[in-house]
Structure 1
């Protein structure tokens, strides 16, 4: 288990509908005033990162979508310590624009900007905006080139690159981002996603899963990263329902499922299964997800952060022992629940970490 404290990130609800495909009443809003206050609450609560989402079209309850990079810049302006991860989708973005945007925001935010490279799963979105829909392997090849170009532009005085998707000749970007350079996150649960992360990414996000399922993924990616002489850390998606009793938490989960929008969930299932089945192994994100799992976009229920603060803290430590360095969290009512999580759960996690360190020290 890592000696470093596990870190916490939250999904920024800059897209309407919250983080569940359910008609359950939510006190979460996609507007900027709500999100500015949420970022300040999260910063005080002990969160390290906020992750903005990128969507270009409506679907699955997300009728309104704020653009990720400009929204991230707004949140950085409202906070002092919180790092904000802006989602970038290769295709609509090219590395030149992205490198320039993020370098400037690095200077505006005292190096608190990071990026999440999203390879794309929603075919209908690409069709709607006139972007070519590449097959599964090509999407990851393009994303890998995108990342190599970003890091090259940021780090080299004169950058030259000849790939299948991007080409540069003696390109010099000034000013470069402040040090440390922006961290690069990516998601995906397919072999291609893990292979890419093991070569070029700083962080790898995976969907929610059991502790054993996560352990297997971590071992796979760390073995590949070691072979590539690369270092990558792992973050896991989880949907938190922290209540004073386990019964109350399970009741909230059941209410979310009871109010699920079945047509929207089935539509989402069709899209994601289509994206995942294109991988050579026929898997990827959501490959083994049930309809109930898919009510939360990234299998967050599977991580089982549902119960009392003590139960949730113990499950987070179990994930840390499996090799997880970051928890990426969603909530039903973000402002109240992020504040509650910071007050009731994070201190328990820190105490359990100290307890584990004492046990190790005494052999």
Structure 2
């Protein structure tokens, strides 16, 4: 993807209950399929190209109810025309060949709009509760690398062979193959993580690397690190960044909403989540694991979305988004408080400013004010 290509936008599918913040603040967001069908159509008509269906098998972090991301995404694919659905999937709970086969069918039904986000896993209870082994941190990423290599191989090679520590494939072909999309070798493979193991994984095998919410310097550091690993492996990787949008007529109004979200946080759920995820993050030798340095307020939103700072007026948010583009972002993965209203507002009020700033960036290298975005 050219650095001058327009930014792509994705949204977190609310396929689990509780909304996108663990707070008792009003959230006019539902996890029902009917609500999500309306949202998906609205989103693709508001400039969103992707939607990520999150994976949760057990009640946790304020999400008492959960829809399966693969089945839910397939339903949303049939309800839309252009939107690409990214299905989150866990190695260890999926076999790569079964996901590959499901993906081919979904890709053909949707004419090339299926993608995956391979999640190495942080919630130990989901694995042990289902009787599956819980691997240590770096072992989970070793398994994920094999999983991705098998997934890609089965999507692109007949009579595929693979012999690893976790998976073995013997002279196997999947037919039919994924939908033929010009310029696309196979359905896109996304992967997240913050640790060195996650960054090296992206630099070897993934198409996209998702970052948790980060400020400018934190995101730039991740991009530089992953790009270095990718260069060592003659591999190309694109970058997605998580963020939560609070857009109001004034910055003060937006900050008031953020304050209310945090003040009304479900403290028990957030603390429970923090104990689970920071154990996983701190299990890395260099302390770079997911959520390892997150504060309570950061964890009120999935994946540190407040840290990206998309909070203020439409103009402020647009300028900040384009600054992230300058630092390497190819895609913004966004969450909202009131999805139907906020997604429509983003498409009408924020996205046009982003596109104007991108045009300025192409002409001048630095649109007015972007370099000073806070």
- Range of TM-score over shorter length: over 0.9
What's the CA shift for 1:125? 1.6
2:355 counterpart SS class: helix
Q: Does 1:251 align with 2:256?
A: yes
After TM superposition, the structure 1 stretch with the greater mean CA deviation from structure 2, 80-89 or 274-283, is 274-283
1:276 counterpart SS class: helix
Q: Does 1:74 align with 2:64?
A: no
- The match for 1:238 is 243
1:85 counterpart SS class: strand
Alignment partner of 2:275 out of 260, 270, 274? 270
Q: Does 1:142 align with 2:152?
A: no
2:86 counterpart SS class: strand
**TM-score relative to the length of structure 2:** 0.95
Residues 1-363 of structure 1: matches in 2 within 5 Å? 2-179=3-180, 180=184, 181-360=186-365
What's the CA shift for 1:360? 4.0
Structure 1 distance, partners of 2:143, 2:163, is 12
What's the CA shift for 1:282? 2.7
Q: Structure 1 segments of 4 or more deviating over 6 A?
A: none
1:173 counterpart SS class: coil
After TM superposition, the structure 1 stretch with the greater mean CA deviation from structure 2, 176-185 or 191-200, is 176-185
Structure 1 distance, partners of 2:38, 2:143, is 36
After superposition, the C-alpha distances for 1:169-211 in whole angstroms (9 at most, x for unaligned) are 1001100111331000011011100100010000000101111
1:299 counterpart SS class: helix
Structure 2 distance, partners of 1:117, 1:56, is 15
1:160 counterpart SS class: strand
Structure 2 distance, partners of 1:292, 1:227, is 37
Structure 2 distance, partners of 1:128, 1:25, is 32
What's the CA shift for 1:283? 2.8
Structure 1 distance, partners of 2:310, 2:280, is 27
What's the CA shift for 1:62? 0.6
What's the CA shift for 1:71? 0.5
RMSD after superposition: 1.2
**TM-score relative to the length of structure 1:** 0.98
After TM superposition, the structure 1 stretch with the greater mean CA deviation from structure 2, 20-29 or 3-12, is 20-29
Structure 2 distance, partners of 1:20, 1:274, is 21
